[in-house]
């Protein structure tokens, strides 16, 4: 694991954060989970039930493997938290420490699994004691060390078009609406626009981004959309804006909504796939392309689809020696092998991968990390809240939002773009955003 010189072009100031009382070097503004990885920290937490080691996987706040106590507040996603000087980080859910946790013996004592719901069920006294013990073992962190700050008042906004997501599709949709003089507000949870155009392994580089051409007052960064609801005044986005000194809730009413929030990286079901050192392919690509951290020097790549091979090329371009590329889709190319029945090996970090091969003996390869690259699972929740239809797509092997080629959904006021309708390349996502914006600007609500 090493940092790449020259990526990013400008890093923040060198600072120090504190992990369990020890100083750790970091750069101001980068995800603090990345700072810890770059400093050689492997185990971030312990699993709730069996206290197995956990480390970051998705870098998208879609799993719970990187949760820590940050400045006295428990259960913070360190993959989404910018590092700042003097930040206090504490590992959770372990005794006496995450590195040496006595409760990991549960996994050894109950090798076939522990069902605390059935243990001592119906036995007087023992049943209540077991329930209390289980609650203590399964807790996530302690209460905050100080009361929460006073909430800022909710702010209500009204606009012609509200856009959730400033990635490839949302950004290009906003740019097209701006060209056509259609008022809009764009909300993006990250501190930057562009999404996969900047971070995906299969994105063209350097991308021609129109972010600088958008009016600054129509773009809200660090502002995730957490819901799409309706009341007596109509439909609105519920947005948590971090642009103010403290988080503020926004109610954003609009005539039309465009949901372009992409998807979250799934994993593959294989033995010990939760080990630290197992990362989603998009997380590994984000860390490399956005922050200049090569998370593995000799990674093993597993998955299916074009991003798997683009990720292998990206790592090789930056000096990594790929230990193996295992295509679980059964159609290997570019030196990959077909494999099934995967297993990760290692105690506190993935150090090897084994897999079965058709007509051959099982193979085991040494590595210093495992990257899982499979098509993302669409984040369809916002669209579903507004009445869009969601159905299983056999070609994509996941649930997708039903929409026409211009992003129109079953809800007449709602359009979608990007990967909500299935896997697309970054460039294809950008084009879908432009088509959705044109449909919105035309005022044609036909589904």
Report pLDDT digits (tens) over 84-130. Answer: 999 999 998 877 778 778 777 777 777 777 776 677 777 888 888 87
**Distance between CA atoms of residues 286 and 290, nearest Å:** 5
The secondary structure of the chain in percent helix, strand, coil, rounded to multiples of 5, reads 20, 30, 50
Domain shared by 22 and 123, yes or no: yes
* Domain span holding position 325: 278-373
Q: Tokens 């996941």 sit at which residue?
A: 398
What is the pTM assigned to this prediction? 0.90
Domain shared by 11 and 132, yes or no: yes
- Token reading at 287: 């860390």
Predicted confidence band at 371 (pLDDT cuts at 50, 70, 90)? Answer: very high
Given this model, what pLDDT does residue 447 score? Answer: 46
Domain shared by 19 and 118, yes or no: yes
Tell me the CA distances in angstroms from 76 to 3, 27, 29, 61, one per residue in order: 25, 19, 16, 9
**Distance between CA atoms of residues 46 and 397, nearest Å:** 31
Domain shared by 21 and 115, yes or no: yes
For residue range 280-326, list pLDDT tens digits in order: 999 999 999 999 999 999 999 999 999 999 999 999 999 999 999 99
- Token reading at 241: 């804006």
Predicted confidence band at 157 (pLDDT cuts at 50, 70, 90)? Answer: very high
Q: Tokens 């009382």 sit at which residue?
A: 21
Count the residues in the chain.
447
**Within a domain: 177:** yes
Domain shared by 335 and 231, yes or no: no
SS3 77: strand
Q: Tokens 């992990």 sit at which residue?
A: 19
Domain shared by 257 and 401, yes or no: yes
The answer to whether 199 touches 290, Cβ cutoff 8 Å, is yes
**Within a domain: 272:** no
Domain shared by 81 and 98, yes or no: yes
For residue range 391-428, list pLDDT tens digits in order: 999 988 899 999 999 999 999 999 999 999 998 889 99
Q: Which of 241, 65, 246 is nearest to 151 (CA)?
A: 246
φ, ψ of residue 371 in degrees (nearest 5): -110, 125
Domain shared by 356 and 384, yes or no: no
Domain shared by 102 and 120, yes or no: yes
Domain shared by 330 and 408, yes or no: no
Q: What Rg, from alpha-carbon coordinates, does the chain have?
A: 23
The answer to whether 418 touches 432, Cβ cutoff 8 Å, is yes
The answer to whether 329 touches 39, Cβ cutoff 8 Å, is no
**Distance between CA atoms of residues 201 and 281, nearest Å:** 8
User: Residue 96 is part of a domain; what is its CATH number?
Assistant: 3.10.20.440
- In 13-121, which residue ranges form alpha helices assigned H by DSSP? 32-38, 105-109
**Distance between CA atoms of residues 163 and 161, nearest Å:** 7
């Amino acid at each position: 694991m090493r940092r790449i010189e020259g990526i990013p072009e400008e890093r923040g100031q060198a600072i120090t954060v504190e992990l369990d009382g020890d100083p750790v070097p970091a750069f101001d503004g980068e995800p603090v989970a990345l700072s810890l990885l770059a400093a050689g920290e492997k185990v971030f937490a312990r699993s709730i039930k069996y206290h197995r080691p956990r480390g970051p996987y998705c870098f998208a706040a879609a799993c719970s493997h990187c949760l820590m106590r940050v400045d006295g507040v428990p259960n913070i996603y360190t993959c989404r938290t910018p590092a700042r000087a003097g930040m206090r980080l504490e590992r959770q859910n372990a005794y006496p420490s995450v590195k040496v946790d006595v409760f990991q013996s549960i996994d050894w004592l109950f090798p076939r699994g522990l069902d605390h719901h059935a243990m001592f069920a119906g036995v007087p006294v023992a049943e209540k004691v077991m329930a209390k013990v289980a609650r203590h073992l399964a807790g996530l962190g302690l209460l905050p060390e100080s009361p929460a700050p006073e909430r800022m008042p909710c702010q209500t906004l009204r606009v012609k078009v509200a856009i959730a997501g400033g990635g490839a599709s949302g950004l290009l949709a906003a740019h097209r609406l701006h060209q056509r003089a259609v008022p809009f507000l764009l909300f993006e949870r990250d501190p930057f626009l562009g999404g996969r155009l900047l971070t995906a392994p299969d994105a063209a580089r350097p991308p021609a981004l129109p972010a600088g051409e958008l009016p600054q007052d129509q773009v809200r960064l660090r502002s995730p959309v957490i819901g799409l609801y309706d009341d007596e005044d109509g439909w609105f986005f519920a947005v948590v804006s971090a642009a103010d000194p403290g988080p503020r809730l926004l109610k954003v009413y609009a005539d039309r909504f465009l949901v372009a929030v992409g998807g979250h990286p799934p994993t593959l079901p294989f033995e010990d796939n939760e080990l630290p050192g197992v990362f989603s392919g998009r997380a590994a690509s984000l860390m490399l392309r956005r922050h200049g951290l090569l998370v593995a020097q000799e990674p093993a790549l597993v998955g299916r689809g074009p991003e798997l091979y683009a990720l292998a090329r990206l790592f090789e371009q930056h000096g990594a020696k790929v230990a193996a590329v295992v295509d679980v889709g059964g159609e290997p190319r570019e030196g990959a092998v077909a494999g099934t029945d995967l297993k990760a090996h290692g105690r506190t970090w993935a150090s090897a991968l084994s897999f079965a091969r058709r007509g051959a003996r099982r193979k085991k390869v040494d590595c210093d990390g495992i990257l899982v690259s499979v098509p993302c699972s669409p984040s369809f929740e916002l669209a579903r809240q507004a009445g869009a239809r969601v159905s299983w797509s056999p070609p994509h092997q996941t649930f997708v939002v039903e929409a026409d080629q211009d992003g129109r959904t079953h809800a007449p006021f709602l359009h979608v773009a990007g990967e909500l309708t299935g896997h697309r390349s970054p460039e294809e996502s950008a084009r879908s955003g432009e088509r959705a914006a044109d449909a919105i600007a035309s005022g044609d609500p036909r589904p």
